[in-house]
Amino acid sequence: MKCPKCDEGTLIKIKFKSSGKNAHLCDFCDALWFDHEMIASTTGHTLRVYSEEREHGFTELPEQDQDHQSIKSIRRL
């Protein structure tokens, strides 16, 4: 799915290690939506702000139909 915030990146499914929460992350602009949230240009969070406040790492969740870069290629904040 294309990111509704930047219209450039692809959303990838991730899981935060410390909390176990699942989310969708843009591989271009680092916009972030949790599973229970509506994915739209007017909603969501940024990975940098969320990570600084609550989390310290995440892992990519495999999806058969995802067409994106590996999570290892996303820059660390």
**How do residues 14-69 score in pLDDT, each as one tens digit?**
888 778 889 999 999 999 999 999 999 999 988 777 776 664 556 566 665 445 44
User: How many Cβ atoms from other residues are within 10 Å of residue 58's Cβ?
Assistant: 22
CB-hemisphere CA count at 13 Å for 48? 7
The whole-model pTM stands at: 0.67
Tokens 């602009």 -> residue: 29
